[in-house]
Amino acid sequence: MGVAENPLRIARDAERVWSEGEQRTKKRGIGDAASVFPASRSPSSLFFPPMKPSRADSGVSPVPREFQSAFRARYMSGMTILVTNVLVWYDSVHMKSIRKKVIMVDDNIINLTLGKSILSHHYDIYTAPSGEKLFKLLEAVKPDILLLDIEMPDMNGYEVIKRLKAFRETAHIPVVFLTIRNDNNSELEGLNLGAVDYITKPFSPALLLKRIEMHLLLESQKNTLKIYNKELETLVLKKTETILGMQNSMFNTVVDLIEFRDASNKGHLQRTYQYLTLLVRAMQESGIYHEEIAAWNDVETVLKSSQLHDIGKISISTDILLKAGKLTEAEFEEMKKHTVYGVEIIGKLEEDAPGYEFFKYAKLFAGTHHERWDGKGYPYGLQGEAIPVQGRLMAIADVYDALVSKRLYNAMQSHQEVVRCIKEGRGTQFDPELTDLFLTIADGFEKVLEKEL
Ligand SMILES: [Fe+2]
Ligand SMILES: [Fe+2]
């Protein structure tokens, strides 16, 4: 063990010396919860034996004075730091070698003695003569497994296990019933109550040892798996956060790029996203087109995808996009194509992530936001509810923002003028129900505008 061996040995020597002193004044017995504790083997008690005897009854120190002063000399010095380090090392590296703790509960003292003699070579064995004593013992000892008798006065084994399983601190302790009952119903009842095994008395020592070993191994594997799952969960969470972060930053870059190309209406994509949010929230509250909205798995994904509605403008020449005057007919025809270009671009992105709903909705926004309710829109000339609701919503948000913003090809109009204009387009350019809804929340559009411009 190299470097760590010396302090360990020192501590063990100290422990031995302490025990020798203690044994002169104390006699152990079975049945007393305090007396059934074995000489402690936990690493911390190895290194830090008490400096004074705790019993006030004897009035006589169980440890000779010369040994007490030896302790003080050793443990009150700079050794503390070294010992602490070794303790940490010992706990982390040698957890597996630490003896497991077994509690045996039985009202028959002969059984407890027998169990103790079989198990004490392999485990730290603690005994309790009743359920009540067990729960007292559990305040100080966290066992790795519990061997429980069924037939006991006051609180029988079934009552004990029910109480154990009722509390988070004790529910995980594997319980093995050790009982003289050998009928199927008793065994089934025990297992149904959460016991991991059922052994009938008289038991074979070898079989008992093997069964305990098997359950402890299972328990340790379960814990390892739990830790592994937790680590895996953390890893997946971190990776997901990283991927989402990358996705967001790439998405924002694309949105910036679209706006950079079409510098005529800065902030248009962010504002239309907010107008849509207001419209969709109002739809949810009023129940308008609730079936369409119910079909969306994630409303935020739908709203966010709206910011790609003009992505097709990337394919339009800047001569047209940034033209200061009115577009010629040919230029306008080319400009109209940003809708289908958008669908094509998003379709290409979708090839790498088929089934990702974000792209499905983004294509609907891009392809249909210039359709008109009366069928005179572009690029497909769809009419009425044949236009996807995304397109009908964006038609209102897009026109509102285009008209209230100062653009290269038109003068800025006031909020009231634009609201009037949209009202006039009810049933011709715009979905009548959505127009009515817009009119009820138009003030919210104006607030977005004031904040963003
Ligand atoms: Fe557009
Ligand atoms: Fe737009």
The pLDDT of residue 262: 82
What gap in Å lies between CA 240 and CA 443, rounded to an integer?
38
Q: Give the ligand at the shortest distance from the Cα of 399.
A: 2
- Ligand at shortest distance from the CA of 337: 1
Residue 26 has pLDDT above 60, yes or no: no
Q: Per residue in 157-180, pLDDT tens?
A: 999 999 999 999 999 999 999 888
Locate all alpha helices (DSSP H) within 310-414, ordered by sequence: 318-321, 329-336, 338-351, 357-368, 389-404
Q: Which of 12-26, 154-168, 401-415 has the highest mean pLDDT?
A: 154-168
Query: How far, in Å, is the centroid of ligand 1 from the Cα of 369?
Result: 6
DSSP secondary structure, 175-242, as one string:
EEEEES--SHHHHHHHHHTT-SEEEESSPPHHHHHHHHHHHHHHHHHHHHHHHHHHHHHHHHHHHHHH
Say how many Å lie between the CA of residue 5 and the centre of ligand 1: 76
Distance 379 CA to ligand 2 centre (A): 14
Distance from residue 334's CA to the centre of ligand 1 (Å): 12
Write the pLDDT tens digit of every residue in 279-314.
999 999 999 999 999 999 999 999 999 999 999 999
- The domain spans of the chain are 1-97, 99-254, 262-452
Q: What was the pLDDT predicted at 261?
A: 84
pLDDT of residue 3: 37
* Per-residue confidence band for 224, with pLDDT thresholds at 50, 70 and 90: very high
- Point out the ligand nearest to the CA of residue 321: 1
What residues pair up with 128 in beta bridges, in sequence order? 105
CA end-to-end span of the chain: 71
Q: Residue 407: what are its φ and ψ, rounded to 5°?
A: -115, 170
390 CA from centroid of ligand 2 (Å) = 13
C-alpha dihedral sign at 90, 94, 99, 100:
positive
More confidently predicted of 205 and 86: 205
CA–CA gap between residue 257 and residue 311 (Å, rounded): 9
Does residue 118 have a pLDDT over 90? yes
Whether the predicted pLDDT of 128 surpasses 70: yes
176 Cβ neighbours under 8 A, 6+ residues apart: 145, 146, 147, 148, 195, 196, 197, 198, 199, 211, 212, 215
| pLDDT exceeds cutoff 60 at 33 | no
For residue 128, give the H/E element and its range.
strand 124-128
Kindly give the distance from the C-alpha atom of residue 284 to the centroid of ligand 2, in angstroms, as a whole number.
24
Query: How confident is the model over 324-335, as a mean pLDDT?
Result: 93
Query: What is the arrangement of strands in the sheet containing 145-148, beginning at the earlier edge strand?
Result: 124-128, 101-105, 145-148, 175-179, 197-200
**From ligand 1's centre to the CA of 398, what distance in Å?**
7
Q: What is the rounded average pLDDT of the residues 343-360?
A: 92
Task: Please name the amino acid found at residue 432.
Answer: P
The per-residue pLDDT for 2 is 37
Mean of pLDDT over the chain: 82
**From the CA of 446, how far away is ligand 2's center (Å)?**
17
Q: How far apart are CA 398 and CA 4, in angstroms?
A: 73
Q: What is the mean pLDDT of residues 87-98?
A: 53
**Residue 309 C-alpha to ligand 2 middle, in angstroms?**
6
Predicted local distance difference test score (pLDDT) of residue 260: 86
Q: Which residues contact 372 (CB under 8 A, 6 or more apart)?
A: 395, 428, 429, 430
Residue 187 CA to ligand 2 centre (angstroms): 72
Nearest-angstrom CA–CA distance, 99 and 86: 18
Positive or negative, the CA dihedral 111, 112, 113, 115 is: positive
pLDDT one-digit tens code per residue, 389-399: 999 999 999 99
Of the ligands numbered here, which is closest to the C-alpha atom of 259?
Answer: 2
Q: What is the pLDDT of residue 322?
A: 86
- pLDDT surpassing 50 at residue 25: no
pLDDT at 38 over 80: no
Buried residues in 39-66 as b, exposed as e (16+ CB within 10 A): eeeebeebbbbeeebeeeeeeeebbeee
Task: Examine the pLDDT at 329 and tell me if it is beyond 70.
Answer: yes
Ligand nearest to the CA of 272: 2
Residue among 10, 39, 45 nearest 22 (CA): 39
If one looks up domain 99-254 in CATH, what number appears?
3.40.50.2300
Q: Please give the pLDDT value at position 200.
A: 87
pLDDT at 388 over 70: yes
The answer to whether 175 and 161 are in contact (CB under 8 A) is yes
The H or E element that residue 277 is part of is helix 268-286
- The 10s digit of each residue's pLDDT in 49-79 is 444 444 444 444 455 555 555 555 555 545 5
Lowest mean pLDDT across 31-40, 79-88, 160-169, 271-280: 31-40
| pLDDT of residue 96 exceeding 80 | no
Q: What is the pLDDT of residue 69?
A: 56
Nearest C-alpha neighbor of 423 from the set 412, 436, 414, 410: 436
User: Is it the case that residue 45 has pLDDT exceeding 50?
Assistant: no
Q: What mean pLDDT is predicted for residues 108-136?
A: 94
- Helices 389-404 and 268-286: crossing angle, nearest 10°? 130
Q: Are 276 and 397 in contact (CB under 8 A)?
A: yes
What separation in Å is there between the alpha carbon of 316 and the centre of ligand 1? 12
CATH superfamily label, 262-452: Hypothetical protein af1432 (1.10.3210.10)
What whole-number distance in Å separates Cα of residue 405 and Cα of residue 269? 12
Give yes or no for residue 123 having a pLDDT over 70. Answer: yes
